[in-house]
A and B are shown apart, each in its own frame.
Chain A
Amino acid sequence: MEHAGHGDAHGHDDAHGHDDDDHIHPEPTTFLSKYVFSVDHKVIAKQFLFAGLFWLAWGGVMAMVIRWQLGYPGRPVPVLGEFLWQENGGALPAYSYSSFFTMHGTIMIFFAITPIMIGAFGNFCIPLMIGARDMIFPKLNMYSFWAFFIASIIMMTGFFVPGGHAATGWTAYPTLSTTIGQPGHGMSLWALGIFVSGASTIMGAVNYITTVIRLRAPGMGYFKLPLTVWGLWLTSILNALFVPVIGSAGLLLLMDRLFGTTFFIAGSSIIQGQGDPILFQHLFWIFGHPEVYILILPAWGIISDLLAFFARKPAYGYKATVFSMAAICVLSVLVYGHHMFTTGMSPLLSQGFMTFTMLISVPSAILFLNWLATIWKGSLHFTSPMLFSLGVVFVFGLGGLTGMYLGNITTDIYLHDTYFVVGHFHFTMAAAVFLGSFASIYFWFPKMFGKMMITSLSKVHFWLTIVPLTYLFGAMHIVGYGGMSRRLFDLSRYEFLWHLQPLQTSISISAFLLGSAQFIFVFNFFYSLAYGKKAAQNPWAVGTLEWQIPTPVPHYNFAEIPLVYNGPHEMSRPDMTDRDWLAQDEPPPSTPAKRGEPEPTAEPVAAE
């Protein structure tokens, strides 16, 4: 059956000539064109996934070293210490510590979350969920991955240059990030790496946006898109608009470092220059605040779908969810100044930023309402994707609420740049996003690789992740509330923080637990890849388009371009008795009574 579908698509293509359409390409035959320089969105998705998981592991190990230093200051780092810091008795030196937290942040944001959430699931889900045969610009898609690959190499090189990698924090504020504070080449490579990875992201974003605009299957109106696609699409729009801003900041920083311009170098008693270090902060946060939504929006979209799927209910308030996400995108542009309350910004501006920041809580509250109402009166199946989705709701609740303290100038005075901030953004950007990633991996693994993952292991993975994770980032809030600045190598210089050391140690222990729990996932992932049970076409019994085609997905995805009749989560319809889901491309058994949404009239063209 798979092969029949496959051959069909192929024949089709031959008949009409693939030259006409960029996104229709013949099936590759050589190893290189099939697995390496592939233009197939499904293969590129896997490439991004593996690259992202590699960097996730790398960044995770760095986090463990950071936590070791904070939990057991000055003690030799187990295993790694002997190799890396022999001259320091195996203990982490302060310079390396700075470099580690800088690269931990950079890697996790630009090289782990971005490729996994946007690169892998964006590539995999968008064409399959909208009923397209590939991205609209498949070659650009390939370039996007290889640009990411080059960026990865540049970033990796930084670890091996004399003077070490960038050590300014991922925010790279000048003048610390100019040659005044960072004379080595590590920082220049960092800026270049960010620029190239930004180029990769923009290529992806242009592709995603255009694909959703142009290649939706007939009948697939914007409000019939799965929320996953909405999340990814909105993220792409933010990416296309705001990644260039960090690109410009990176370029100007590089010019300051390499060509002697003085954009960010201000005059002081020992430095000559007429630039403005605050300018970088403006550019950075104009990008930086949308960036946190860039990272979380796909997760929001995905869990909105998954909660509906496994509650066997239509997503509650579909349009409200979409509009809330869109409203947050708009607001995210207007609030960046809340990262700069302590820089002596004009009071009027500060208060404007504060007000807009607070406003974000309204659409966020509506998102929560919709998620909770979706599972209300559902029929909840606690599969592993569902568990992780519920986990996202829980940790994002924590992360969102702790944001109230930081969006407000008055309370931010005390909490700015403390561990409170670290805990807050790890709940939102790290915990919520990675739980969302795991949910996606567990959910789409069968479609991606044609194998099932081991359910029992994935549930153990969930519980061993969510418990230490909540403690770990929750306790960071307490440490920050106690007044500890972030990015401190060692708190022993500050007598008022001494009483927090035991808490820090306990945080580290729970971080190590969290880290070790991920081995369960690694094992599950690779074991299932090799020996997993063969996956059925639609193991979760859901109605979105990607589950209506064979597993593994044939090269052309859809033998016939589907004609879409329904929304993405038509579950538990009273007029259906044999099963509780309705595929998107399946005519509904009775005419839906809803008005305002015209029935698709177009004939399935590809069926000719």
Chain B
Amino acid sequence: MTPDVAPRRGRKGRRARDMGRIVGLVVFLGSLGMLFLSLLFAYAILRASVPVWPPAGEEPLPVAQPFVSTLLILAASVSLHFAGRAKEMAKRMSWLGAAAACATAFLVAQGFLWWTVWSGGWVPSTGGYHSVFYGLTAIHAAHVVPGVVWLLVGLLRTWRARSAGASKMPSLALVSIYSHFLAVVWVVMFVAVFLA
């Protein structure tokens, strides 16, 4: 096997370090994936235990608003993808900026969605359907928040790095993987909770 010893130097060392971080992140996302899987499992069990869904006395949730959220989080993900591929610094900066804007907009859209549903009188204690809605979307959003913070910090760092003449945002690959993951989770959630 190849020697994988520390400390390592130069480009090779950095690549090994980045690889280590990516492995770590993938393991962590496995963990996070289990969290969302168990939430979806909970949803499936609740849904299977009643004859009709949404249960009697609960109104179907809006679809248009979460669809906008879906577009926003996908846009953030796509922007990050292009940011990773961009060769020029300025281009990368603008793609990153777009990603950060979309992700923030996603959070705003989610907030607006909760506000609409809540002000319609459908509070979490209404029943199982609304419990699932608030619970799952809130836990997802709680994981988007650190992603947005990470993205903004990254943006700031890239900006600084540009003025210092460096060319690589250190954790771009990591934050992209994380964002893609959350986007996929959201799409599954959107289909499962709002459409199905």
Question: CB within 8 Å of B: which residues of A?
Answer: 12-13, 16-18, 20-24, 132-133, 136-137, 140, 202, 205-207, 209-210, 213-219, 221, 240-245, 247-249, 251-252, 255-256, 259-263, 273-276, 278-279, 282-283, 286, 561, 600, 602-603, 605-606
B94 at the interface (CB under 8 A from A): no
In the complex the two chains form, is B20's CB within 8 Å of A205's CB? Answer: no
In the complex the two chains form, is A275's CB within 8 Å of B7's CB? Answer: no
A244 to B40, CA, bound (A): 13
Residues of B near A259 (CB, < 8 A) are 124-125, 134
In the complex the two chains form, is B35's CB within 8 Å of A261's CB? Answer: no
In the complex the two chains form, is B135's CB within 8 Å of A218's CB? Answer: no
Residues of A near B46 (CB, < 8 A) are 263, 274-276, 279
B97 at the interface (CB under 8 A from A): no
In the complex the two chains form, is B23's CB within 8 Å of A210's CB? Answer: yes
Within 8 A of A (CB), among B116-131: 123-125, 127-131
Of A12, A240, A600, which contacts B30 at CB under 8 A? A240
In the complex the two chains form, is B38's CB within 8 Å of A244's CB? Answer: yes
In the complex the two chains form, is B3's CB within 8 Å of A283's CB? Answer: no
Given contacts A219-B1, A261-B134, A276-B49, contact A136 B9 (CB under 8 A): no
Residues of B near A24 (CB, < 8 A) are 6-7
In the complex the two chains form, is B24's CB within 8 Å of A263's CB? Answer: no
In the complex the two chains form, is B134's CB within 8 Å of A21's CB? Answer: no
SS of A interface (majority): helix
Complex: chain A residue closest to B134, CB-CB: A261
Complex: chain B residue closest to A217, CB-CB: B5
Of A16, A207, A274, which contacts B128 at CB under 8 A? A274
Interface pairs (18), CB distance under 8 Å: A17-B9, A18-B7, A20-B7, A206-B24, A215-B4, A218-B1, A244-B31, A251-B139, A252-B42, A252-B135, A259-B124, A262-B127, A262-B128, A274-B128, A282-B45, A600-B1, A602-B1, A606-B5
In the complex the two chains form, is A205's CB within 8 Å of B13's CB? Answer: no
Interface centre among A249, A251, A262 (most CB of B within 10 A): A262
In the complex the two chains form, is B45's CB within 8 Å of A276's CB? Answer: yes
> Which are the 8 A-B pairs with shortest beta-carbon distances?
A260-B125, A261-B131, A218-B3, A244-B35, A561-B5, A274-B128, A210-B24, A244-B34
Question: CB within 8 Å of A: which residues of B?
Answer: 1-10, 13-14, 16-17, 19-21, 23-24, 27-28, 30-32, 34-35, 38-39, 41-42, 45-46, 49-50, 55, 123-125, 127-132, 134-135, 139
A248 to B50, CA, bound (A): 22
Residues of B near A606 (CB, < 8 A) are 5
In the complex the two chains form, is B24's CB within 8 Å of A240's CB? Answer: no
Given contacts A21-B6, A210-B27, A262-B131, contact A283 B13 (CB under 8 A): no
A247 to B31, CA, bound (A): 11
Residues of A near B35 (CB, < 8 A) are 244-245, 247-248
How many pairs, one residue from A and one from B, have CB atoms within 8 Å of each other in the complex? 160
Residues of B near A603 (CB, < 8 A) are 3
Of A12, A137, A210, A243, which contacts B7 at CB under 8 A? A12
A605 to B41, CA, bound (A): 49
In the complex the two chains form, is B6's CB within 8 Å of A561's CB? Answer: yes
Given contacts A221-B1, A245-B34, A245-B35, contact A255 B6 (CB under 8 A): no
In the complex the two chains form, is B6's CB within 8 Å of A274's CB? Answer: no
SS of B interface (majority): helix
Given contacts A20-B14, A248-B39, A255-B124, contact A216 B6 (CB under 8 A): no
Residues of A near B127 (CB, < 8 A) are 262, 273-274
A202 to B28, CA, bound (A): 8
Given contacts A16-B9, A605-B3, contact A261 B14 (CB under 8 A): no
A137 to B22, CA, bound (A): 12
CB distance from A281 to the nearest CB of B (A): 10
Complex: chain A residue closest to B10, CB-CB: A20
Residues of A near B135 (CB, < 8 A) are 251-252, 255, 261, 263
CB distance from A604 to the nearest CB of B (A): 8
In the complex the two chains form, is A21's CB within 8 Å of B19's CB? Answer: no
A205 to B24, CA, bound (A): 10
A555 to B34, CA, bound (A): 36
Given contacts A244-B31, A262-B127, contact A283 B6 (CB under 8 A): no
A48 to B49, CA, bound (A): 43
Complex: chain B residue closest to A247, CB-CB: B35
A219 to B35, CA, bound (A): 36
Residues of A near B9 (CB, < 8 A) are 16-17, 20
In the complex the two chains form, is A16's CB within 8 Å of B7's CB? Answer: yes
Interface centre among A218, A244, A249, A600 (most CB of B within 10 A): A244
A603 to B3, CA, bound (A): 8
A241 to B35, CA, bound (A): 8
A217 to B3, CA, bound (A): 7
CB distance from A262 to the nearest CB of B (A): 5
Complex: chain B residue closest to A259, CB-CB: B124
Complex: chain A residue closest to B32, CB-CB: A244
In the complex the two chains form, is B41's CB within 8 Å of A283's CB? Answer: yes
A254 to B117, CA, bound (A): 21
In the complex the two chains form, is B125's CB within 8 Å of A202's CB? Answer: no
A283 to B21, CA, bound (A): 30
A264 to B46, CA, bound (A): 9
In the complex the two chains form, is B31's CB within 8 Å of A202's CB? Answer: yes
A259 to B130, CA, bound (A): 12
CB distance from B109 to the nearest CB of A (A): 21
Residues of B near A137 (CB, < 8 A) are 21, 24
A602 to B4, CA, bound (A): 10
A132 to B20, CA, bound (A): 14
In the complex the two chains form, is B42's CB within 8 Å of A283's CB? Answer: yes
CB distance from B1 to the nearest CB of A (A): 6
Complex: chain B residue closest to A255, CB-CB: B135
